[in-house]
Structure 1
C-alpha cells in the first residue's frame, strides 16, 4: 500500500474522533456568530454572521481584566511550581534518605484528594493569612495542589537519565549545581514542559477554589467571569457567553501546538514510566 493510501486510510479511521473533539468548539464558534434574534432559532449557521459579537463581548462581559488575572495566576503558579519541584524531584531521584519510599507514597496519595473536599479549610486558612480576594492567595493554593503532582512527574523522568553523564561532568571539575544546570536540566526539558503544561491548564481552568476565594469582580478569573454571565440572570446573552468561552480556549490551544514536540517526548520517555 502506498504512503498516500495509508494516510487516507488513517485519516478515515481517525475522522470520528476528530469530529467528536472539534464538535464542541464548532458549536461555540457558530453560536458566537449568531445575532441575538436568531439565538433560539433551530438553524445551524446564522443568516448574517455577526463578527462584532467578539468585540462587544470584550466589554460586556469584562473579559479583558479576567483574562489578565487568569494569565497572571496561571503563569505565576506554573513558574513557582516548576522552580520548587525541580530540586525536590532531583533529590528524590538521585539521593537515598530515610523515609524516601514513604514520601513517594505520600505524593501519590495526595493526588487522590479533590480540591472541593478541602475548600472550607483552605478558605479559613486564606482568611487567616489575609489573602482573601487576592490573586496571590489563589496562587498559593494552586501551588499546594500542583506541587506533589509536579514532583512525582519530574522524579519519574529524572530517574531515567543516566548517572554517568553527571559523574563525567564532576570528573571534569563541574560543581554539583553547575552539573544540574548545564547537563541535567537540558536533558529533562521534555518532562519539565509536560509538567508545566498540566500545571498551567489546572490554574487556567480551575473554578471551585477561585469561586470561594475571590469575591470582588476586579479579581475574578475567566471561569468565574464566564459563569457569571449565565448564573442568576433573567436574560442570557449566549452569543457573548460562547464567544468568551471560545476565546478562553485559544491560549491553551496555542500552547499545545507550540509545545507539542516536547509534550510527546515527555509522555513517551518518562512521564508514564
Structure 2
C-alpha cells in the first residue's frame, strides 16, 4: 500500500509541471472573465481582484449575441458529426470486411487528404458554395466540416472494425439474418466506443473551426462562436476583454460537458481500437 501511494505521489509530482502549463491559460481566461473592468490592466499584474463580477457573463450574452452564435455552432457541429458518421460507417465497414480493386489507393488517398490544410482550399470552396447558393448558409459549413473530417473518421472506424471478430457476423448469417440486419443489430452495437470517439473529435473540430466559418458567413446572425468572439476583437477601437474572456469560458463548456459525459467511451474506444 505504501509503495503504491509513493508511486502515485511520484507520478503526480512529475505531471505537475505539465498540468500547470495546460491549466494556466484557462486560469487567466477565467480570472479575466470575472474581474471588474477597471482592474483588467493593473500593473504589476495580479491574480487577486476586489470582487467576482458574474454580471460580466450576462452583459456579454446581451451585447454580443452569444445565444444565437451558440445555437449556430451547436447546429453546425452536431449536423456535421452526424453526416460524417453516416457516410463514414459504410466506407469503413467495406474497407474492413471486403477486398476490392483500388483499396490500397483509396487508403493512400485518405491519408493524403489528412495532410492538406483547409486554408489551401478556402477560395475553391467559396466559389463552389457560391455556385450552389450556399454562401451565408450554415449548411455550407455542415457539408465542408463533414467532408474534411471523413478521412479521419473512416481511418478510425476501420481500425476498430478490424478488431471485431468475423465469427459474430457469420453466426448471424447462419441464423438467417441479412447482411444489413447483422450490421445494424450486431456489428454496430459492438462499435459504439469507436463511433463515440470519432463523434467527439469531429464535433470538436467543427466547434473550433474558424477560417471556413469566417469565409462563408457574411451575416452576424449566422456567425458561429469562434467568429462571433473574433468579431468582438477585430476592428474595434476598444476591446472589452472581460466580455471576450467570458464568451470564451462559456464556449468551452459544451466541449467539457461532452468529454465528461462520454469519457468512458473515449478511453475504451481509443484503447480497443489500437488492438487487433
TM-score range, shorter chain: over 0.9
- Answer yes or no: is 1:247 the counterpart of 2:250: yes
Q: Deviations over 1:90-135 (max 9, x none)?
A: 0111011111111111111111110000000000000000000000
- Answer yes or no: is 1:34 the counterpart of 2:19: no
Tell me the residue number matched to 2:87. Answer: 84
Tell me the residue number matched to 1:15. Answer: 16
Paired with 2:156 and 2:13, the residues of 1 have a C-alpha distance of: 35
Tell me the residue number matched to 1:71. Answer: 74
- Answer yes or no: is 1:170 the counterpart of 2:173: yes
Paired with 2:179 and 2:136, the residues of 1 have a C-alpha distance of: 42
- Answer yes or no: is 1:133 the counterpart of 2:136: yes
Contact 1:205 1:223 in 2 (8 A): yes
| Aligned ranges 1:246-265 → 2 under 5 Å | 246-265=249-268
1:108 to 89, 111, 117: 111
Contact 1:154 1:271 in 2 (8 A): no
- Answer yes or no: is 1:44 the counterpart of 2:40: no
What SS does the corresponding residue of 1:236 show, helix, strand or coil?
coil
Aligned residues: 273
Tell me the residue number matched to 1:143. Answer: 146
Structure 1 alignment gaps of length 5 or more: none
Paired with 2:36 and 2:203, the residues of 1 have a C-alpha distance of: 34
Paired with 2:68 and 2:153, the residues of 1 have a C-alpha distance of: 29
What SS does the corresponding residue of 1:108 show, helix, strand or coil?
helix
Structure 2 alignment gaps of length 5 or more: none
Paired with 1:133 and 1:158, the residues of 2 have a C-alpha distance of: 38
Paired with 2:58 and 2:85, the residues of 1 have a C-alpha distance of: 36
TM-score, structure 2 length as denominator?
0.96
